[in-house]
Structure 1
C-alpha cells in the first residue's frame, strides 16, 4: 500500500468513513474496521456477496443496491447513494455509500468505495420533513384564514384555503396584493397602526376590525399577528383572520337582552355552557347581596348555598346543565349576609343554529312570602288533622273504655244479685269498689284530655308499665277468672314509659280483652307480655295462643274501623282501630304477626321522645 493510500485510509478512519473493496477477479470483499463498526459486526466477520446484501431491507433499498453494483460491474458506472440498513444488532441506520471503479484495459477489475453513518443527519431531515408536513397540514386545514406578509412592503406572499373562503378571492388573486386592500378604506389606517405596533414590539397581539370581501360584503374579523420570521434577507409576518360575525350577533343580542332584563323585577342570570355566570341583572344582585364581579366566572348559584340548601335539588340543577336541559325548581338559598330566602328558578339552555349550547338563562324570583304562607297553612292543616284525630280518639275512648268498665260493674252486680250467700256477696264488693275506682280514674283521664285538646300537643307522662298492667289485670279479674286465661309478663318493676295515660289504659284494656275474647276453645288460653328497647322505641309484645287472624285475607283491614274477623256477638270492630290511632297520636305504631289457629303477636311501639 502506498504512503498516499495509507494517509487516505487514516484520514478516512479519523472521519469515521469506512472503506470497502470488491475484487472482481477473485470475488473477495474487503471491509475495514470502520465499515465493520457501522454494520456492527465482529472482526471475524467475513463479508460475501450474499451476506452483505442481507443488511439491506427487502424493499427498494435492496433492489437499488443490487442494481447499482450490477451497473458498476457491467457498465463501470460509479454511484453515490443513501441507503437504509439493519445492522447485525438489529439497529436501523442510514449510510451514504460511494463507489468508484478501477479499470484494466477498459474493463472493471475492482470496486472501491466508502461507507459513512449519516443516521443522525437523516433523522433530523426526517423530523424536519415531518414538521414541514404537519405545518403544511395545519396551514391548509386551519379554521382561521392565514396570510404570510412580507414586512418590507406589506405584500401577501402566501395564504391558506380558508383565506379564499373568507375573502371570496382565489389564492392566486390574494398572493401579490398589498394587505391593506383587504380592508374597507375607513379601517385601513387603524390596521396600519396595528401592524406597525406589532413590527415594533414583535409579540403576539390581537385586534378586531373589518374586511371587505370580493362581493363588497363587510365582515367583522379578529386579526392576530404572531412573531416575525426570516428567510434569507426577507422578514415575514404570519397574520390570522377569524370571522367573528356570529360572536358579534350574540353580543348584540346579549346587549339587547341586557337592556330588556336590567329593569325587570325578576332575577336573571346568564351562564356559559359550563354553567358559569357571565351576566346578572340588578334584581339578582339586590336579592343575593353580591356584586357582579363576585359572581362572574362562578358556578351560578354556588355562592347562594347554605347549611339547609337541599343537595338533591342542587344535584338536579347540575344534571340539567350537564345534559343541556331545562329545569324548574324551588330551593332554599342564602344571601351574602347568610339570610335565608326561598328562590323559584327556571333554567333554559340557548342553542345556536348547529344545536350547540351557547348559554343558559336562569329566571327566578323570591318566593319566601309564599313559602312561609304554605308552611303556615300546612302547619294549620297538620294541627287540624291532629286535633280531629284526637277528638275522634276521645269520642271512641268515651264509648269504648267506659263501656268496658260499665260492663265489668254490670257483671259484678249480676253476680251479687244471683248469689244467696251473704259472705260471697260481700266478697264481690271489693271488685265492685275497684271497678268504680277504675271508671272514676278513666273519667278523670278523659276530663284531663278535654283540657289538653285546647293545646296543639298532648303532654306525655312517665308511668311505670308494670303498675298499669297490674291495674288492667285487676280491672279485668272477673273476665280473667271466667276465661281461665294465664297472663304471664316479664316486665321489670322499674320500667317506665312516656305515654298519655288514658291512651295506654285504653290500649292495655283492648289487647287484654282481645286475648280473652278470641281465645281458642280447644286449649288453655295464655297471654305472654314481654318487652324490648331499641334506639327510638320501647316495644311491648302481647303474644297469645288464640284463634289467630288470616293476614293474607284480612291484613289490609285489621286496624280498620268496625272490622271483625271471628263472628263474636260482642265484637264491635273498633278496639284495634282505636289502639292504632292512640299509638300514632303518641308518635308510636302497632304491628301484628298471626297465623290462623295458632295465635297472634301484637307489638306496640312507644316513642320515648
Structure 2
C-alpha cells in the first residue's frame, strides 16, 4: 500500500499521548493521513466515513473500557488491523486483546517511531494474511511460513518442535530437519549441561491460552540472543500445541543497558565531581538535577537547590552576568566564564543538551571552585615579579662591579708594563712581582669573560639575519686553517639539505669557532682528528649535527655540567671552561637549543637546533 493512500486512526483520549504518537507517525509515514478520536463513538464515526487502514486503540476510553473497547471497534471494522496502545499496567489486558484478534500491542513508554512503523507495517501485512487465512487452512500455513518474524509450533507437553517457519530457519541457523529433532528447551544457553535443568513451565501457555515471556536463546553458531516469545494454544493434528512468535530483542535490551550504564556513569561522575558541581537546567534556568562534591554556596547540599532558579543563588550584579551567559547556551553556544559568590571564585562551563528534534530545551553546566587556584596565581605573579626585580638588581650589580674593576685593573696592568725589574736583584721580590703580574692578568681575563657573558645574556634583541651556513663555516675554517693543518684534521661538511638560518652573524661565527677549536684541542692522540658536520630540515627550523672523534666526555658523571660556567673535563693547559657555556648561551638567547651525545675515547656530537 502506498503511503499516499495510507489512513491511520488513533483512538486516544490523553492529549499528551496522542501528540507523542502523532509525532512518531508523521516521522515514519510523512504522507499518511492521521485521524484522531478521543472517544469510542468518534472512532466508530470515522470508520463509517473513512476507509481506515490501521487503528491504534487505547483500551481506556471515556465511553469504553478494556476488552469491550476492542470488541466494539473490531465488530465495526473486522478487516482493519488494530494495534493496542497500552500503559505498563495494562499489559495483561493487551495480551488478552491479542488473543481475540488484535494485531499487536505497544507499551506507550517503550514506543518510538521505529517501533510504531514496524508494528503498523507488520499489522497491515498480518491483516492481509489473516484475511486470507479465514478462507482456508492453506492461508493459515501461508501466514506461518511467510511471517517476517521467526515462528514455531511445539508440543505443549514434550516441547518438541512440530513446525518452524523460514524466518526461524534464517534467524537461528538450524535447518528445518535440525529444528524438528530439538525441543524448544534446548535453545536455552546451558541446556547441554545436565546439571542445569530447564524449567519446562516457562514454555507452557497460561490458563487463558496466551503467554509472553523473555528468554535467552542460543543460535546454531553459538551467538546468544535475547528473545520475547508470545505463545498461544493451537491444535495441530489433534494434539495440544503452542504457537509462538519470537521477537529478537537483543538490540533493544542492549540499548536499554547502554542507556542504564550511561545514566549510571553520568551520576557517578557528577556525584563525585571534585571541588564543584554538575547541574542540568531547563529554559527557565530551573535546576532539574544537581550533584557534586562541593556546591557554590558553602554548607548546602543538593536538596537545597532542587527545583530552584540557578541564578537565584547568586548576588547582584553577579546574578545578571550568570543569567546572560547561560542564556547564550540556548542560542547553541558553549560558554565558559568566572562567577563569584561572596569571597569565592568559580569557573562555570555550560553546553547545550539537544532533544531528538534538534531543539535545545536543557543545558548542562559544570561549576568548579578556583578560589585557591586564583590565589596561587596571584602569589606566583608576585613571586615572579620579585624574581625579576632581584635579577635586575643582580645584573645592575654585575655591570657596576665589572665597570668599577676595569679601571683599576687597567691601571695595574699599565703599572706592570712600566716596571723595570732588571735592576731588582732580590729573587723573592722578583717572584712576588711575577706572581702579582700573573694574578692581575688572570683577574683581567676573568672580568672580560664575565663582561662578555653579560653581553650575551642580555642580548635577546640581538640582530638576526638570514645567514648561509656554508659560507659562514668556510670563513671560520679559514681563520684557523693553520691550526687545522698542524693537527692534520679532516673536515667533512654536508649542508645540502639545509643551509639558511635566521641567526646573529657574530654569534654563529663564535659558535662554530668554539666547536672547531675544541675538536682540535681535545683530539685523541691515538688517531688523526676528524670532524663531520651535516644539517637537516625540521618543522620551523634546521638541525645541525657537529661530530668529532676526540677524547669524548663521561656523560654519566658530567651530563648536568656540560654547559656550566668554568667546567673542565680534561686536563688541558689552555682550557678555561668557558667555550661551551658561551655556545649554549648564544644559541639559547637566539631561541635555539643544543644537546650533546658523547662517549669516552670515541668522540662527541653536538646537536644544535636553529629556529626560524
TM-score by length of structure 2 reads: 0.40
Larger radius of gyration: 1
Using the size of structure 1 for normalisation, the TM-score is 0.41
